[in-house]
Chains A and B, each alone.
Chain A
Amino acid sequence: MATTLLLEGLTKRFGSVVAVEDLTATVHPGRVTGFLGPNGAGKTTTLRMLLGLVRPTSGTATFNGKAYDELVAPVREVGTLLEATGFHPGRTARDHLRVLTTAAGLAASRPDEVLDQVGLSGDAQRKVGGFSLGMRQRLGLAAALLGDPPVLVLDEPANGLDPQGIRWLRSFLRELADQGRTVLVSSHVLPEVEQTADDVLVLAAGRLLRSGTLAELQSEGGGGTTVRTPDGERLVELLTEAGLPGRWLGPHEILVQASPAAVGELAAANGVVLHRLAETAGGLEDVFLALTGQGRP
């Protein structure tokens, strides 16, 4: 079931424009990997190369060693959501899925099952032309799930979703990753990624700037974990001994450049009471802006 995605030296030039340059990265199963970058960074081109829609100028992208167009039953192996425009406006949601189901040779019951999974059962017989952007995203996600694939490649899936939809998407992606699937999600909405992703790939101007765990990247930016404790002096002492310098945010609040797990474990091991332990949101944004050059004045 577990599938690892490998991008090796992936490069795409459109004429003299370099859209993606020498991108090498690994996307692991059982984790949600956020694919970050400002608009025009080359995220969509990368995903389209991964899926065989755009031919790389050089380099390869493989799923457990196989290129997308070498997969025997691609729909059963990789689920994809690319953009919200891949629908005929005059076709119903259910018929759209029936076409894909028929072409892929899947069980005829799949369209109704995935529509139910994404909460669109009530709109199955409606034409897609009348759908909101959020409903189209859900339908696109339903299409991605048709083959019950071990890999999901989703391009900006949170686009057009309302807050409720975004929260649903977040727990949905988490659930898929917890089932051991490989989930690659592109986004330019950082707070969203911070709440969803385990790993991140940061792309800007076609180049991969960072790849690693979210916590690693967050800690780079001076973000990390905020802790509230009645016993602050003691905790700062322990943190300093452990090589994790803390910074006071208030009389009982400390900012530490470490993961909540590291801080929590240290506190527990030494019997320090914590009243709050949270990842800070600012970290990723700062790193991201610094990396992509957008944070400079």
Chain B
Amino acid sequence: MTALVRAELLKLRTVKLPLWLLLTTLALVVLGVLATVLTAGLEGAPLQRDDPALLARSVASASSGSVVILVLGILALTQEFRFGTATPSFLVTPRRSRVLVAKLIAIAVTGLGFALVSAALAVGLSAVLLPLRDGVVTWDRTVLQVLLGVVLVMVLYGPIGIAVGALVRNQIAAVVGSLAWIFIVEQLLVALLPQVGRWTPGGASSAVLQLGDLATTRGDLLPVWGGALLLVAYAVVLSLLAARLTLRRDLT
């Protein structure tokens, strides 16, 4: 299994896409931190400059790349079918579930890498910029919890992407469908129907990142541990479905 995971990581390292997606992730983190820092204290903004949670909220932007790692997961799977590399992969490892597990682990490791770089950038940027805008910088347990949440979200979104890619198989449909889900459906559900929205992966992520009062006006997300469990459940259930429904198909 170690060899298979190393092979999957090598697949990611030997094409340009992951590097570009890492740069995209970092750009999103910068935008996220800037948005938090610049809007804090403005009239009608949910965050005030003296809010003790200001740093934690700003640092939560480190999870901005979750959607990017989701896309990377989708592409890592669908490209195997698009370019026909699934054939050599399954010829080397006829037990296809092993290939899937190796892919899930490899993308989770990649997500961890993305998370650590994103977190360092978000913490550094927030610590420098917040004082410039007269914001308070409070180093407390919440900041640490949020950073752990960032790691959890980034580690799990990749495997969810792999599973979605395996279930949908069509690259464009999988990517466009996921983006529409994240940026339209989940946003609407969390804002308008929070009792439903909090059960979506996006709702669970917001709970883990403690963004309750930012994500929904009524603040009714799951507790942190509930969101964490729900996200893990999504990753596991979708992966099992993928293994069951997709991997048995004939490769013609």
Contact = CB atoms under 8 A, between A and B. Distances in A.
Nearest to A82: B87
B162 to A, nearest CB: 16
A99 B10 contact: yes
A157 to B, nearest CB: 15
B87 A92 contact: no
Contacts of A69: 94-95
Interface string B1-32: 00110110011001111000000000000000
Nearest to A105: B3
Query: Which of B10, B16, B87, B92 has the largest count of A CB atoms less than 10 A from its CB?
Result: B92
A83 interface: yes
A55 B250 contact: yes
A185 B21 CA distance: 42
Contact of A74 (B16, B79, B83, B94): B94
Interface string B65-93: 00000000000000100011101111111
B75 to A, nearest CB: 11
A82 B87 CA distance: 8
A207 interface: no
B90 A88 contact: no
Given A85-B84, A86-B87, A91 B252 contact: no
Contacts of B4: 103
B79 A54 contact: no
Contact of B91 (A44, A75, A88, A91): A75
A20 to B, nearest CB: 12
B90 A53 contact: yes
Contacts of A103: 3-4, 7, 89, 92-93
Contacts of A143: 88
A87 B3 contact: no
B252 A48 contact: yes
B81 to A, nearest CB: 11
B77 to A, nearest CB: 13
Interface string B119-159: 00000000000000000000000000000000000000000
